[in-house]
């Protein structure tokens, strides 16, 4: 019988409020080849990253197995507009685990979405009003585009929007 390749991935991002001025976000990614965890801590209201911790138990890329000290370079970075470019500039100088960078970005986006929760609760209850509310919200804050299933490229909520580069 022919051998069939199998690949599966599970990724989870969680954000919790530690106290009035601190948020903690973590991302776990497990797939056929990788088992990784990344956690950040950020202060409010400026959303400055104050702590980064990672653990990679399994990876096909040896560079990913010891990135804990390398990731300390992102302490002090602020979560918000322009963070992707700042992150590229900060970590570009050496070999970096792309999966951990992705997970860091996921944590940051989770923080942004968690702070948007109160705005989301103000959505009208009727379907047409809700659709218009969410569409306008993404238009006003394009960083929300493609950050969750509701604002994914194929969603009617973001129809007609040009994706950010």
pLDDT tens digits for range 66-86 = 877 778 888 999 988 778 788
pLDDT of residue 76: 93
Q: Is residue 118 part of a domain?
A: no
Which two three-digit tokens encode residue 3?
């051998």
Q: Over the stretch 15-31, which tens digit does the pLDDT of each residue have? A: 999 999 999 999 999 99
Residue 73, pLDDT score: 86
88 in the same domain as 17: yes
Residue 39 has pLDDT above 80, yes or no: yes
Question: What's the number of domains the chain is made of?
Answer: 2
Element (H, E) at 24: strand 22-31
Quote the pLDDT of residue 129.
Answer: 84
Place of tokens 């950040």: 40
Long-range contacts of 134-141 (CB under 8 A, 24+ apart): 135/159, 141/116
The residue range of the domain holding 156 is: 123-165
Please tell me the predicted confidence (pLDDT) of residue 126: 86
pLDDT of res. 86? 81
pLDDT for position 1? 56
Instruction: Specify the pLDDT at position 148.
Output: 67
Q: Do residues 90 and 130 share a domain?
A: no
Residue 56, pLDDT > 80, answer yes
Higher pLDDT, 112 or 50: 50
End-to-end CA gap in the chain: 45
**Token pair 């400026």: residue:** 46
Residue 115 lies in a domain: no
Say whether both 51 and 130 belong to one domain.
no
* Domain contains 2: no
- Say if CB 100 and CB 54 are below 8 A apart: yes
Residue 34 CA, distance from chain mean position: 18
Residue 32 lies in a domain: yes
Q: Is residue 53 part of a domain?
A: yes
Instruction: Verify that 79 and 133 share a domain, yes or no.
Output: no
* Same domain, residue pair 156 and 93: no
Whether 114 maps to a domain, the answer reads no
Residue 94 reports pLDDT greater than 70: no
**Of the segments 5-9, 36-40, 107-111, which one has the largest average pLDDT value?**
36-40
In the beta sheet, which residues pair with residue 11? 29
Q: Is residue 113 part of a domain?
A: no
116 assigned to some structural domain: no
Residues 25 and 80 in one domain: yes
């Amino acid at each position: 019988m022919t051998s069939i390749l199998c690949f599966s991935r599970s990724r989870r991002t969680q954000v919790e409020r530690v106290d009035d001025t601190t948020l903690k976000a973590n991302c776990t990614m497990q797939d056929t080849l990788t088992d990784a965890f990344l956690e950040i801590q950020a202060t409010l209201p400026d959303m400055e990253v104050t702590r980064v911790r990672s653990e990679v138990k399994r990876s096909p890329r040896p560079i990913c197995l010891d990135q804990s000290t390398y990731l300390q370079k992102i302490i002090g970075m602020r979560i918000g507009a322009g963070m992707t470019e700042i992150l590229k500039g900060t970590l570009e100088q050496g070999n970096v685990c792309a999966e951990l960078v992705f997970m860091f970005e996921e944590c940051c986006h989770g923080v942004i979405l968690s702070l948007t929760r109160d705005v989301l609760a103000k959505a009208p209850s009727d379907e047409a009003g809700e659709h218009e509310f969410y569409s306008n919200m993404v238009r006003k804050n394009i960083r929300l585009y493609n950050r969750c299933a509701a604002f994914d490229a194929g969603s009617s909520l973001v129809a007609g929007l040009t994706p950010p580069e």
